[in-house]
A and B are shown apart, each in its own frame.
Chain A
Amino acid sequence: MRFLFKTDYEDDIRLFPHSGYIVSYGVLLAFLLVAPFVLSSYLVSQLVFVCIYATVGVGLMILTGFTGQASLGHAAFLAIGAYTAGYLQQYNVPFPIYFLAGGLLTAVVGALVGFPALRLQGIYLVIATISFAFIVEEVLARWESVTHGNEGMRVKTLSLFGQAVPQNGPTFYFLCLGVLILVIVGTLNLLRSPTGRAFVAIRDSETAARSMGVNVSLYKVKSFAISAGITGLAGVLFAHKLSFISPEMFTLQLSIEFIIVILIGGTFSLHGAVLGAIFLVMIDPFLTYLKDDLPGIISGLAAMFGADSATAGKVNANVAAIASANGLKGAIYGVIIVLFVLFEPLGLYGRWLKIKLFFQLFPLYKRATFKRQKIYVKSERNR
């Protein structure tokens, strides 16, 4: 392990605390840059989705993880970004302009949502954001002159500087990766700035932040706007990746998936957003893989424990029936969410930190290091 001696504030807020970070992230970046030439096109396409989900995850992390404002309406922000792209593209607006316009418009809408949200907390805020998402969904379905209503909207192939960028090619992947990296670096810098410090102060205690002179309302609105803006940028990429958008795609379900991203990754760090996105996107191919192979594996196990071939065949058929049942994915989602909340509230990144700390402190590791304090008195209503 390496001891870091922080002697001043600059040391504390450095982007890369020590050279090890540069090496490991460099290796990761090298892998990601080689990926489209090595991996199958299906996996590259999944990686694009990881980038998009991670971008949304970073946006949501700013709001939920760092400012402490829950939102179940981020699908609406994604939709606004996506529809801005689709609409402006019809008028041959170049990509960089409508990309930024999508982000900007979503940020403005986010700020408008942030104002009413100022007076709301906890569950009220969650319901208000859900309501907002429903209203956006309905507007998208009804405003047919712009959105083509429920028929949906075709999104043309992206063209960048006169070059077509097909959504399955490596260039589009690099574009998404670039956006993700820019957003992450931007967010890291934001978190080092006074604005980011104010966000974290609001999350930890609104009253304390206010008494330290933080303009709570201003920063909450800022947080909403930044978070929505980033989600809008992801929305533009999302529209291009799917090349078709319709209101049914931006439902509460999608908002919940974004929350799952940050919850499973860990709601306190940007690593969490990326890990959660990887987890959420990769669970689909993993389930398909299980569906194909699980019956064989289980009947093989049964045969190993002395079942005759008829029983093994029956087991195989039963497992196959369960594995291909409709809605299995939802059940597994549900179980995963519950298990993470119950047993790993810090998410995947928290698990990694625990493992790292265990080895760093090896003989002296205390099991209760990351344990949260329970509060049994009426906290929310009196806080």
Chain B
Amino acid sequence: MLDFVQQLVSGIALGCVYGLIALGFVLVYKATEVVNFAQGDLMMLGGFFAFTFIGMLGLNYWLGFAGAVICMAAFGMLAERVVVRPILGYPQFSIIMATIGLGYFLRSVVGMIWGTDDFKIETPFSDGVLRIGSLVLAYDKLSVIAATVILCALLYLFFNRTTLGTAMRASSENMLAAYYMGIPVKRVVSIVWAISAAVATAAGVLLAPITFIHSNVGLVLGLKAFPAAVLGGFGSIPGAVVGGVLIGVIESMAGFYLPQGWKDIAPYLVLLVVLLLKPEGLFGVHTRKKV
């Protein structure tokens, strides 16, 4: 039982990271129908920015965190402007390819600049543990869960209570109609990319104490975040987080209770089963076909 709770908490913590990356996918997808295959790599780049600020320049953790988030928000806007905007409105396949190319590029460039070693970011809650009876919970895992909850709440408020959020929901419903109603769709899309890159950075920094960061971490985790986003139904924000947590828990449980090898494929098996039974995901909206 104790093992079970232990695995559950670490599964949820890992799942929250997946959920945060998946949240980035979903934000971008909802606003522009673009599936950003480079989301994991944005996360990796954010982690490296934070590492540069905190580990190499010796800034305060929170200052470095904020700096990395701001830099990555700017980078997200840049990536949107250069890679995505010219092909908005073209078939999804081309956009998927463009973001795969972007991911390739980021991975290699990060490898060339920072090298291919593993890096670790010292966080204020790196070593502490919380003891409840004989249950031992590491602070860094709890911090991931807390940060995910806070970020989700902030995003929820942002989308439902602010004008900009409403504009984003409008342009995600129908870009052309939103444009005709006077919403600056291009700027909105830019901001969506900035937010999604910022969320990815938060995920990267939170993750750094758990799995370290290296140039390929984005690919590995990004590919785990895809099942999370799809499981939740691409385009649903709560779905992304729930999907992420589910994937994290499944992975953690499979790693503990099932023979070796199941850990890596269990999320994908579950995903295939869910897709078979409910192709639009758990929280997806089933839209009617227009002919």
Given contacts A342-B86, A381-B235, contact A135 B265 (CB under 8 A): yes
A326 near B97 with CB under 8 A, answer no
Given contacts A124-B230, A134-B268, contact A334 B108 (CB under 8 A): yes
B33 near A334 with CB under 8 A, answer no
Centre residue among B108, B223, B230, B271 by max chain A CB count within 10 A: B108
- Which of A30-38, A180-188, A372-380 touches B? A372-380
B276 near A342 with CB under 8 A, answer no
Among A64, A119, A334, point to the contact of B105 (Cβ < 8 A). Answer: A334
B118 in the interface, Cβ–Cβ < 8 Å? Answer: no
Q: Nearest Cβ distance between residue A236 and chain B, in whole angstroms?
A: 26
Q: Nearest Cβ distance between residue A323 and chain B, in whole angstroms?
A: 11
Write out the residue numbers on chain B whose beta carbons fall within 8 Å of the beta carbon of A134: 223, 264-265, 268
**Interface residues in B92-114 (C-beta closer than 8 Å to A):** 92-98, 100-109, 111-112
Write out the residue numbers on chain A whose beta carbons fall within 8 Å of the beta carbon of B227: 127, 131
Q: Nearest Cβ distance between residue B236 and chain A, in whole angstroms?
A: 12
A28 in the interface, Cβ–Cβ < 8 Å? Answer: no
A330 near B108 with CB under 8 A, answer yes
A: number of interface residues (CB 8 Å): 52
A334 near B272 with CB under 8 A, answer no
B211 in the interface, Cβ–Cβ < 8 Å? Answer: no
* Interface of chain B: mostly helix, strand, loop or mixed: helix
The residue of chain A having its C-beta at the shortest distance from the C-beta of B178 within the complex is A376
Write out the residue numbers on chain B whose beta carbons fall within 8 Å of the beta carbon of A360: none
B290 near A127 with CB under 8 A, answer no
B173 in the interface, Cβ–Cβ < 8 Å? Answer: yes
A334 near B101 with CB under 8 A, answer yes
A334 near B268 with CB under 8 A, answer no
B33 near A325 with CB under 8 A, answer no
Write out the residue numbers on chain B whose beta carbons fall within 8 Å of the beta carbon of A334: 101-108
Known: A341-B101, A342-B87. 5 other contacts (CB 8 A): A70-B93, A123-B29, A337-B97, A337-B100, A338-B101
Closest 5 CB pairs of A and B: A334-B105, A337-B101, A374-B89, A334-B104, A330-B108
Q: Which residues of A contact B (CB under 8 A)?
A: 64, 70, 116, 119-120, 122-124, 126-128, 130-132, 134-135, 138, 141-142, 207, 252, 256, 259, 263, 267, 325-331, 333-338, 341-342, 345, 372, 374-383
